Structures are given as structure tokens and as C-alpha cells.
Structure 1
Amino acid sequence: MTNVRHPQLSGLGRNPATPDDLLVRLAAHAAGRHGISLRRGRLADAVVEALLEHGGSESAIHLNGERISIRMRNVIAEHPDPAIRHAYANFVRDLVDLNSSLGIESLEETFEESRSSLVDSPDPKLRAAVADTWADRPLAVQLRLLADPDPSVRAAATLRRHPGVPVEWRERCLTDPATRVNVARYVPLTVKQATDLISSGDLEACRAVAANPELPAGAVELLIEMDDPQVRVAVAYSRHIDADTRDRLFAPVAAEADAGSIAAYVALCWNFDEPGWLREVPITERLAYLDCPHPPFRRVLASCRDLPDAAWERLDNDPDLRVRRYAAARPDAPAAVLERLVRTGGAMFHIRPPIVEHPNFPRHRLRAFADDPDPHIRYIALEDPDLPTAVLERLAADSEAFIRRGAARHAHATPALLEQLLADADPEVVDEAAANPQLPLGSMRRILDESAL
């Protein structure tokens, strides 16, 4: 996060090329300490000492584990100020009290016990934190958590599909108010179990059953007439629904969304469930869904890898952008298809891996994106590691701040260009320029001198 008042200092603090002697100087300023807290890797002892001197317990929260040497761990453990001694432990304990956690390793470090021992902690919040963060726990531990007397622990133990619920525990978990909704989302259900959950009057339980990929055919009829958008959409994804019934389920939800219903819009557009069963059926049956009017089915089809060329041509030209993206992820996607997709839909860098990293993407064409009238397409040119200086300078002067930020991060940014961006009106651009490893040492020293550090 950028310090908007002192972005040069926050950026310099996280710059991986900033030498230790300058980090020591930066530690005297809050913005510099913030930047240093975002650095990866181990900090030199001298830097840690400076952080403790100037930042006290606020800095000590970030000084733990492999981030610091054994010597500095001992220094903190024996520090005369209890606020510094216990900063990290208190931070983790506060997170546990808030029903959150940094991870199982942080719990072991803070409470100085193994994860196996923490399962027997007298504090139910700590046991729940262990259940939430120890993902690969053995079956014996899972059984202890499923039998825990505290409902919050049992809920945490069943929140995810793995490590799962043994067959002999399913009925118990499906009747336990603390766990039934969690478990109803993923365990194979009998018709009676599904019927009991639907008849319970608990809407969340009904939604969970409807979204269960193991939903039995005998329970579908009970869900079809429910007047809830999430239930309707989830049931419409079922393998037990015919095309006409599916259309009948989707139609009112789409109408409600068009009329402004947020619940209906969320059910249609922010529903992360999908008809995954479609991947398992014979290819002849799958191909029938090329003409399905509902994009989620075409998206699942596009995620397959054994389709004929004619199907790929249809999917590469699908009106739904996400369908085209799914199709473009196949290993043999043509370069022309990939480039066209990026030009029309952007690179979507928040989805990993982005299309521009596909082995078949014509990366030699990246610099041509710099002249596109769409700023989101111009930004993609910055993915070219060998972008000519003239093009990079043009992007660094772009009217869009996010493009200038990208230019400030570029590995080929020249010292002159970085000096220009250090004076940018946007603090985040300045922060990125100061964090660029190509920033000359002289510029780093000047920033500190001008800040009287």
C-alpha cells in the first residue's frame, strides 16, 4: 500500500535493490517502515534493530519467523519492552479472538505448541482456528474436531470439502445445526437426507442441497418450485434437469435481474458453481451443449480438451467473453485467436495465468498494443520485457495513471524515466518508480537526503 504523503519513501522501502544502510535510514520514518514491512525475504539484523528502535511494537508485529535471523528472534524474545516482546503473539491472539488466523504455522509459533496439541486447547476459538488452517490434517484429528463440544469448532472442521466427512459421520453432521449447511454442499446425499434438509425450512440448507453436485434425482422435484433465485439457478445446473425445465428455471431469475433484483443478479452472475458433471459425459452428449442458451454450460464445455476443431471454432467466437477465455486456455489455442481475444476483451491480469502468458501468444506483437485507443489494451504492451524506450516513454506520459504505474514498474525503465515518474502527480506512480530495482543508488540517496533521513 502506498503512503500517499510520502510515496517515494514507501516505494524505496520495498525496493528489492535498496541497500541495507539505506533501509536503516528509512526505518526512521513511518512511510519507510511501512515499505520495508512489504519486502520479501530476510531482513538484515541492522535493519531489524532500526525498525525496533523507531517503530517499536508496531514494527515488531512484522518481525517473526524466517523474516529475521535467530539472533534477532532472541533479541525480541528478551527485549525489555513487553509490547515489543509480545507484539506478534498478541497480534495472532487478537486474530484468533476475531475468528481469523494467519495460518497453522503462526498458531504453532505463537502458542508454542504443535498443531496436534493445539487441537486439545481449552480455548474453542483456538481449536476452530486449527480446524480452519490445518488443511492436511489426518483423519484421526478430523474425527476429534467433528466430535468437538463447541459448535464453532465443528463448523470450521466441515467448512471445506477436504479433509472431508467419513461416511459413518454424514448423518450426524447433516442433522447438526452447526454443520449441516456446510456438509450438505458436498457430501453424497440420499433422497431421504436431501428431503429432510429441504423440509427443514432452513433456506441456507436448501441452497446447499441445490448446489450439491451429488444431488439425487429424487430430490429435484422438491426444489424446482422454490421461489429463491439461488436455489433455482443451482437446480438448473443439475444433470437431472431437461432443457425445457432448465429454461423455465432460468427465465424468472433473468427477468428479476433485469428488473433490478440484486439477489437475482448475484445468483446469475456471481454464482461460482457450475455444471461440472458435463465434463464426465460422452463427447457426443457434451457437444449438444454448444447450442445451450445458458453460458455456464458452454463455459464448462470450453474447459474440456478433447473437442473437435469445429467445436473450438464455435467456442472461440462465442458471444460470452468468459466462454472465449475458457476456450483460449487450451494448449493448442491458435496465436491469432489469443491476440484477438486480448484485443477485444483485455488480458484480465487478475485471472492466472493471463492469456498473454499462453505459450502460443504472439509476444512479438505486444508492443503493437501501445497504440490502441483503449487504455486497458495499451497497458498490455507493458508485458513486453524488451519494450523500446521510446514506446515506454510514451506510455509513461499516458493520461491514465494505471498505465503510468505499469511503466514505472517496467524492468527496462531508464534512470531518466524513473526520475520523471518520481515527480508524477499520482502517489502510486511515484511509489512504483521508487520501488523499481533499476532506480540508481544516487537517486535513492537523494530521496533520503531531501527527507532529512
Structure 2
Amino acid sequence: MTNLHHPRLSGLGRNPAASEGVLVRLAAHRAGRHGMSMRRGPVTDAVVEALLEHDDGDVMTTLRAEQISPAMRRRIATHPNPAIRDARADFIHHLVEFGTTVVLRDLEEIYGQPLASLVAAPDPKLRAAIAGSWYDRPAEVQTVLLADPDPEVRAAATQHKQPGVPAEWRDRCLADPAVRANVAWYVPLTWDQFTELMRTGDEDIQRAVAANPHLTADMVAQLLDIEDPLVRVAVAQSRHVDDATRDRLYALVEARRADGDIDAKVALSWSFTEPDWMREAPLDERLSYLDSPHTVFRRVLAGSRDLPEEAWLRLDNDPELSVRRTAARRPDAPPDVLERLVRAHGDVFHHRPLLVEHPNFPRHTLRTFVDEPTPNVRYVALQDPELPVPALQELAAAEEPFLRRGVARHPNITDALLDRLLSDPDPNVADDAAANPALRPARMNRILTEADL
């Protein structure tokens, strides 16, 4: 994160081109150390020594064992200040205590044992952390976790559909109050299991069952009269309901959303359920949803890879942006479709790969996006690593800080532009400018001198 009072120092701390000498000087300032805590890659002994001289443990919290030499690891392990000596271990212990997902190698590093051994650790919080973070654990480890005496561990072990619940464990898990809501949404259910779950009357269990992709038509029929909007939407997405029933269920939920019902809003706008069964359905069955009035069915259809040309033409012009974006991710999406979509709406930068990274995207057009009126579309131009300086200058003068930040991170930035953005009124822009590896060593040293370092 950016240090709001000294953004140039925090940015410089994470600059991959900062020399050892720069980092040693920077270690004397809290903002610089804060930036250094986000560095990736090896940290030299001289820099670690400087951190040990000035740090109160913040950087030691984030430094991984593989970033520093064995000699420095020993130095830290025997440091007289417990705030430094125990910083990394305390940080991981806190993550475990609060049930946060933990990087597996961090658990092995701090607890000094392989994962398979940690599954039997005395601390149930640690066992739960293993269950919640080790997604590809072997079947024998999953069995141990399912049998754990602590309900939090069992719940963590069944939170995700992988590695799953063996068939011989299903009855036991479905009878366990700690895990049955987790398990009910993904394991195949017998009629007796389904009936027993519905008999509980528990809202969470009913929602989980309704989203279960293995339900039979008879099971789905039993859910039709439940008024919970999340159940109704899940049932509406089942392959076992006809179009009229599906339309009726959606209409009921829409009416409740119009009345301000928050559950209905969640069910229609924020729910992650989809008719996943469509992905494996025969082509003719999938194509029958090309005219569906419900966006989610057209969006799942657009995720196909084997549709005829006329279907792609329809999906590329769908009224819903999410459908058009999904269709554009097919391997043979036409260049003009990709450009038109990004030029009209920008790209989704949290969804990788970007549409502008599609092999068919006409990347030579990227620099022309600078002239678009919409700021988020103009930002796309910055995906051209050779964007001309005049274009960078234009974007650096934008009102929107996120555009100036994009320029501050750009590899083709000039010294003059960097210098200007280092003094930007938005601290995030200045931080990004200081973190740009194009920043010259002389300018880095000037930043340090100006901060009396």
C-alpha cells in the first residue's frame, strides 16, 4: 500500500530496479521499509542488515525464507528483539488463528513440518488452516480431515467440492450439522438423503440443496413451492424445469427485488450459481437457449467453443455486455468483434487474460484508444508498451487519477513525465512513479537526499 505522507519513498521501496545502496538508505525510513515489505525476489544481506538496524518487525513479517540467505535467516532467528525475531511466525500464527487462507509453504516454513504431518497437529486452528488452504490434498488426507473431532476442521475440509467427499462418507457428512450445508450443494443425493435434508427446514441447507447439480426431476419438483428467492433462482436454472416454470420463478423473484427485497437482489445480481449442466449438454440443447430471456443461460452458452457462425453472430450482438464479453473469449473471435467490444466498453482488468491480450486482437489499434471520450476506454491504450510519448503526455494530464497512475507505471515513460508524476497531488500516482523501474538511479538518489536519507 502507498504511504500517504511519503509516497515516493514507499514506491521506491518496491522499485525492482532500486540498487542495494538505495535500499540500504531507504531502510532508515518507515515509509521506505513499508514499500520494501512488498518487494519480490531476493533481498541482499546488506539490505537485511539495514532493516534489522531500523525495522520494528514490519518487513520481517513479509520476508519469505527464500528471499534471504541462510546466514540472514539464522541472524533473524537469534535476534535479541522478539518483535523482529518472531515477526514472521507471529504473522502466520495470526492468519491461522483468524481462519485466513495461508500459503502452504509458509505453514511448512513456520511450523517446521510437512503438510501431511501438520494434519495431525494438536491445534485445531492449524488443522483447519491446512484443510482450508491445501486444495489438492490426497484422498487419504481428506479422510483424516473428515474424521477430525473438531467441527471447524470438518467444515473447512468440506467447504469446496474438491477434493470431495467419498461415497462411503456421504451419509455421515450429511448427518453432521457442522458440514451438511457444505456437502449438500455438491454431492449426489439419494431420495432419502434429500428428504432428510429438506425436513430440517434450515434455510442454508435448502439453498445448498437447490443449487446441487445432481438433483433428479422429482427432487426439483419438491422445491418449486419454496419462496426463498435464492432457492427459486437455483431451481429456475435446473435442467428439469420447463420454460414456463422457469419464467414464472424468475418473475416472482423480480417482483420481490422491485419491492426492495435484498435476498432477491442477491439471487439475481450477486449469486454465483449458473446452469453448469449446459456446458456438457448436446449442441442442439444448448442452442435452444440462444433466445432465452434470462441472461445467465445465454452467458453460459457463450462460453461454448463449438457453436455455428449464426449463433456467434447473435451472441456478439447480445443486449447484455457480460454475454458479449464471454463470447469474445472464444479462440477464433474475429478481430473486429474484439476491437468493437473493447472500444465501446473498455476491458475488465481483474479478469485475465485481457481481451486485448487475445491472439486475434488488433493490437496496432491500441494507441488510437487515446482519442476515445470515455476514461476507462482511454486507459486501454496503456496496454501498448510502446505507446508514443505524446499519447502518454495527454493521458498524464487527465483528470482521472487512475489514468495518471497508468502512465506512471508505463515502460515507455520519459524522465520528464516521471518527474512530473512524482509530484502528483494523488499519492498513489507518485508512489507508482517512484516504483517504475525506468526511474534513473540519479533521480532515486535525489528522492533519498530530499528526505534526508
Please report the TM-score for the alignment, with normalisation by the length of structure 1.
0.98
For 2:17 and 2:166, the matched residues in 1 are separated by 51
Farther-moved stretch of structure 1 (100-109 vs 20-29): 100-109
State the Cα deviation string for residues 138-168 of structure 1 (Å, max 9, x = none): 2121111111111111111111111111000
The answer to whether structure 1 residue 239 and structure 2 residue 223 are counterparts is no
In 1, the alpha carbon distance for the partners of 2:365 and 2:103 equals: 42
Is the CA contact (8 Å cut-off) linking 1:413 and 1:438 kept in structure 2?
A: yes
Cα distance between partner residues in 1 of 2:407 and 2:257:
40
Partner residue, 2:195: 195
Mapped to 1, the partners of 2:103 and 2:425 lie a distance apart of 39
Work out whether residues 120 and 127 of structure 1, in 8 Å CA contact, stay in contact via their aligned partners in 2. yes
**Residue 3 of structure 2 is aligned to residue 3 of structure 1:** yes
**Matched residue, 1:434:** 434
Q: Report if aligned partners of 2:37, 2:58 keep a CA contact under 8 Å in 1.
A: no
1:50 paired with 2:32, answer no
Distance in 2, matches of 1:215 and 1:434, equals 56
Q: CA deviation at 1:261?
A: 2.2
Q: Deviations over 1:172-197 (max 9, x none)?
A: 10110011011111111112212211
1:269-348 correspondence to structure 2 within 5 Å? 269-348=269-348
Task: Report what 2:40 is aligned to.
Answer: 40
The equivalences for 1:223-238 within 5 A come to 223-238=223-238
- 2:387 aligns with 387
In the TM superposition, 1:246-285 aligns within 5 A as: 246-285=246-285
Tell me the distance in 1 between the aligned counterparts of 2:77 and 2:217.
Answer: 60
Matches within 5 A, 1:31-180: 31-180=31-180
- 8 A contact 1:64–1:73 mirrored in 2: no
What one-letter code is carried by the residue in structure 1 that aligns with 2:416? Answer: A
Amino acid in the other structure paired with 1:239: R
Does the CA contact (< 8 Å) of 1:173 and 1:179 recur in 2? yes
Query: Is 1:448 aligned to residue 437 of structure 2?
Result: no
Question: Residues 14 and 38 of structure 2 are in contact (CA less than 8 Å); yes or no, is this contact kept in structure 1?
Answer: yes
Offset of residue 82 of structure 1 = 2.5
Partner of residue 185, structure 1: 185
Instruction: Indicate if the aligned counterparts of 2:422 and 2:430 stay in contact, CA closer than 8 A.
Output: yes
Retained in 2: the 8 A contact 1:198–1:222?
no
* Distance of 2:284 and 2:119 partners within structure 1: 50
Looking at structure 2, the residues matched to 10 and 396 of structure 1 have their Cα atoms a distance apart, in angstroms, of: 21
Question: In 1, are the aligned partners of 2:36 and 2:59 still within 8 Å (CA)?
Answer: no
Q: CA deviation at 1:37?
A: 0.8
Distance between the aligned counterparts of 2:306 and 2:134, measured in 1? Answer: 37
In structure 1, distance between residues paired with 2:218 and 2:191:
6
What runs of 5+ residues in structure 1 fail to find an aligned partner?
A: none
Task: Between 131-140 and 412-421, report the one with greater CA deviation.
Answer: 131-140
Contact 2:7-2:430 at 8 Å conserved across structures: yes
Matched-pair identity in %: 60
Moved over 6 A (4+): none
Q: How many angstroms does 1:57 deviate by?
A: 2.1
SS in 1 for 2:75: helix
Structure 1 residue matching 2:288: 3-state secondary structure: helix
Matched residues, number? 453
337-346 vs 410-419, greater mean Cα deviation: 337-346
* Equivalent-residue separation in structure 1 for 2:113 and 2:285 (angstroms): 54
| Distance (Å, rounded) in 1 between the aligned partners of 2:384 and 2:96 | 44
How many angstroms does 1:110 deviate by? 1.4
